[in-house]
Structure 1
Amino acid sequence: MTVGAPAFRNPAEVEANTPVTRDRAIDVIRIGSLVGVVVGHTLMATSTLRNDVFIWSNLLTAAPALQALTWIFQVMPLFFFAGMAASVGSWSPGTSWGNWLMHRCTRLYRPVFYYLAFWTAALAVLGWVLPRHVYEPVAGVSIQLLWFLGAYVLMLATVPLLARITTARCLVWSVVAVYLFIALVDVVRIAMAGCSALGYANLVVWLIPGMLGVGYRRGLLSGRNALTVGLAMVAINLALVWLGPYEPSLVGIENQTLTNMLPPSLLLAGHAIMLCALVIAAVPAIRRWARRPRAWWLVAVGNSGAMTLYLWHIPALLGMHLVFDYVGLPRYNPGGPGFVALSVIQLLIMVAAVSALFVLLRRLENRPLPLWDGGFVADPGCRSGAVGVLLCAAAGATLGSAGWGLKDQGIVCVAAMLVALAAARLLAVQRPANRANCGQ
């Protein structure tokens, strides 16, 4: 067995079949970041029903003092960091970029097809049984979390560029350049009316954890230096909040004057640097922990269904909130009676529900999907480039769909995503290595 195979094995078997060269810290960081997202969503999500209107909100809106917790639970930069650290070693200059990206998108999008099929069927039924203003918020939240997949694939697509980071100097200047670019964009969009859309240029923020992932993989940043950088960024981020105009919440909340998440801000960029630097400093301790057979078994099993864990916690969370709301037990007002007890109960329910969904559905993530798996482009060239561009277009549409969910323009974005993925797969057919791609 290899780590990540579909079947559960006991800790001794997992340990025995783990290559000695495997960087266990990366696996811990990857699954740890996703577990942090699930826990954060569970604790922060609030909802209630008012006159047949489903109000899906966030605990941070009602309790601004808790916004600092997002500095702990906003851990998605670590997933990007771990993903690039794990992937960059498989890239070789002069090989097929489209094939490299197709290989990763095959695994990433495989569970998404099942997820979209579920929501399409579920919303078709819910549209008949739920009031309009309950249905629409549910449809809007349904695929909101796919923003991560779009941004992640776009970061992976830059591997030919990021793989050129081979020295500490190059790493530092690359990160600084992106950070200063984001700072410039923020200055313009804050100072000039009508330039708010310029903030979406700050999506380049997701290159920062990718760069640091490359730097980690190549040993360009020592633990001591990483700790220094991480602590320095803590101070800089605190200063940005103290001096303004940045607000402390690193996730989107109602009435936020300047968002930090979408579009990204300089504070999120600094947060990404801080998290990645601190985790590099903590890698020796993480590796020691991951040597424990039971701990490593949990990490290996979790990573075998990482996308399943990430995707399917949202239907469980929405379903649980709707049930509680309809029976008259909304978790909405943090100052209300029984709020803490209700929070504990819902957390336990989510642990059970997500665990059951993980066991039930993780095989779909690991089982080849007919007509999707098997794409291959042997050589670099026009065909390879076209496949890569189509996958980037699909990622962009995936990112765009998160703004609407499975309604309105979100449906158009999802359709565009599926068309681009289908076109990429049709082009990704195996060719002999000695034939050029152009003109085929």
Structure 2
Amino acid sequence: MSSAATDSKVRTVPAGRDLTLDLTRVACVALVVFVHILFTGVGHRPDGSLLIERTVELQAWFTPASWIANIMPLFFVVGGYAARAGWRSAVARGETADRFIRIRLARLARPALPLFAFFTLVLAATRIIDLDPALVDTIAIGVGSPLWFLAAYMIVQALSPTMMRLHERYRGWVPLALIIAAVLVDAIRYVLVMGVLGVGPVPSAGYGFGDELVGVPNVVFVWLFAQQVGFFLFDGWFAKRRWWQLALLMVTGYALLFGMVSIGGYSWSMLGNQWPPTATMAVLAVVQASGLTLLHAPLTALMRTRPARAVVFLLGSRLMTIYLWHLPMIMVLTGIQLLLPLPMPSPGSPAWWWTRPVFLVVVLGAVWLLSLWLVRFEEAPASGTPRFSAPSTTVVAVVLFVVPVLAITAYGLDLLLAAVALVGTWVALRMTGSRWTRTVA
């Protein structure tokens, strides 16, 4: 998800680089931030008590809008494209798969390290000052919810050299096998757990076993499918299709989604199908790759303009920082409004809706200020000699980084899991030889 752009200056673009993908990443992150702002409805009830609601989810139009606005599959499609391009360059430089994975681990784990440290310190402080545990849980679980992306993206990046070899040998059979596996996981989760065992969702306050964990294997199957779509995008498969064929792919995809939610037991809200991911996300990956290809010409024209390049390069150099820190910043700014107090429109009121774009600019501006220090964690990492040189060390490091993040997503962010994620991330970086000095990309 991180962009190769490292500053806001218009500069020489490497030959063959498709800047529409940089634009897509930036636009997708901006949309994610805006949607989370719309989810964060905080205000006061008539009796003066605190109101916290997911405002946009209460709107009648939210569910159909999620069929278009849930762009997370597109992240993995674009990530697959970037991984294929990056792997070709790595092979040309004589790099091994182990080094390829270590670099991608550093690019995800380094920006996450200060975030986990922040969560650990803040959650420890709430224990010391004895804040209402229910309020802390409500805020922490919401703030930790986007972290699933770190684990899922790291998994598909770590497997990308293997998946590219399979892609080159078996082509379309690979995504076919992945979608079949994803549907089987969905069927097991729906029929066995929900239908026979009657186990409810995993509670946020415990570390038990429920229907949600049965769907976790689809973190691999669904997002690897989306990555394969990205491989085909890189190979030019979508570009070779006529416009009406791409449009037909999109219509067919949405028709298939309608059938899946109508008779297959899937959620009508695409957000409800995101964690654990279901086969609907795989279908959306194809739809969104087709749509991106249809829009390629106008997006290319846009990226020829200096203002567009400047914005994309500026935000692209801080993309992970924006993604990881926007929700904490939303909560901090909302808390400031409550404490001062500043004018605070009632969630869902006309004034609240009209001020959301303004709040988006404020959040992005605040995160940009924060990034002036945090960007050192996002810049191209210096790579030292790993503590242990065996490829199995890299596998262990990936597991140390990924498992705590998956646990946070499944059970909700709390002090224990934040501390475990902090330690796991630090150890993973040390094991794989990541240095902390700044380098030039």
> What's the TM-score bracket when you normalise by the shorter of the two chains?
0.7 to 0.9
Correspondence for 1:39 among 7, 10, 34: 34
Q: 1:52 to 1:266 in 2, by over 3 A?
A: farther
1:166-181 equivalence runs, <5 A: 166=167, 170-181=170-181
Task: Report 1 or 2 for greater relative contact order, CA contacts < 8 Å, sequence distance ≥ 6.
Answer: 2
Task: Show the counterpart of 1:208.
Answer: 225
CA deviation map 1:46-83 (0-9, x unaligned):
24567998664423542344211112221112122222
> Residues 142 and 405 of structure 1 are in contact (CA less than 8 Å); yes or no, is this contact kept in structure 2?
no
How many residues matched? 404
Distance (whole Å) between structure 1 residues aligned to residue 421 and residue 76 of structure 2: 21
When structure 1 is superposed on structure 2, of 71-80 and 39-48 the one drifting more is: 39-48
> Residues 98 and 385 of structure 1 are in contact (CA less than 8 Å); yes or no, is this contact kept in structure 2?
no
Task: Show the counterpart of 1:73.
Answer: 69
Task: Show the counterpart of 2:207.
Answer: none
When structure 1 is superposed on structure 2, of 125-134 and 28-37 the one drifting more is: 125-134
Q: 1:123 to 1:373 in 2, by over 3 A?
A: farther
Q: 1:366 to 1:171 in 2, by over 3 A?
A: farther
* Alignment RMSD: 3.3
Q: 1:428 to 1:17 in 2, by over 3 A?
A: same
Q: Does 1:428 align with 2:428?
A: no
- Percent identity over paired residues: 24
CA deviation map 1:280-321 (0-9, x unaligned):
333233222211121111111111100111122102222344
Task: Show the counterpart of 1:248.
Answer: 268
1:49-68 equivalence runs, <5 A: 56-59=52-55, 61-68=57-64
When structure 1 is superposed on structure 2, of 389-398 and 315-324 the one drifting more is: 315-324
Distance (whole Å) between structure 1 residues aligned to residue 410 and residue 96 of structure 2: 32
Distance (whole Å) between structure 1 residues aligned to residue 311 and residue 145 of structure 2: 28
Task: Show the counterpart of 2:206.
Answer: none
1:276-355 equivalence runs, <5 A: 276-323=289-336, 329=344, 331-332=346-347, 334=348, 339-355=349-365
Quick one: which amino acid aligns to residue 111 of structure 1?
Answer: P
Task: Show the counterpart of 2:404.
Answer: 397
* 3-state SS of paired residue (1:236): helix
1:417: how far off? 3.5
Correspondence for 1:364 among 350, 368, 374: 374
Q: Does 1:118 align with 2:118?
A: yes
1:101: how far off? 1.5
Task: Show the counterpart of 1:158.
Answer: 159
Q: 1:312 to 1:17 in 2, by over 3 A?
A: same
Task: Show the counterpart of 1:20.
Answer: 15
Distance (whole Å) between structure 2 residues aligned to residue 368 and residue 240 of structure 1: 39
* 3-state SS of paired residue (2:41): strand
> Residues 318 and 375 of structure 2 are in contact (CA less than 8 Å); yes or no, is this contact kept in structure 1?
yes
> Residues 167 and 228 of structure 2 are in contact (CA less than 8 Å); yes or no, is this contact kept in structure 1?
no
Distance (whole Å) between structure 2 residues aligned to residue 90 and residue 122 of structure 1: 37
Distance (whole Å) between structure 1 residues aligned to residue 152 and residue 261 of structure 2: 25
Distance (whole Å) between structure 2 residues aligned to residue 425 and residue 66 of structure 1: 40
Distance (whole Å) between structure 1 residues aligned to residue 346 and residue 385 of structure 2: 49
1:149: how far off? 0.7
When structure 1 is superposed on structure 2, of 26-35 and 281-290 the one drifting more is: 281-290
Task: Show the counterpart of 1:219.
Answer: 236
Quick one: which amino acid aligns to residue 356 of structure 1?
Answer: A
Task: Show the counterpart of 2:204.
Answer: none
Segments of structure 2 that go 5 or more residues without pairing to the other structure are: 200-210, 435-441
CA deviation map 1:243-266 (0-9, x unaligned):
3522321224xxxxxxx1222222
1:348: how far off? 0.8
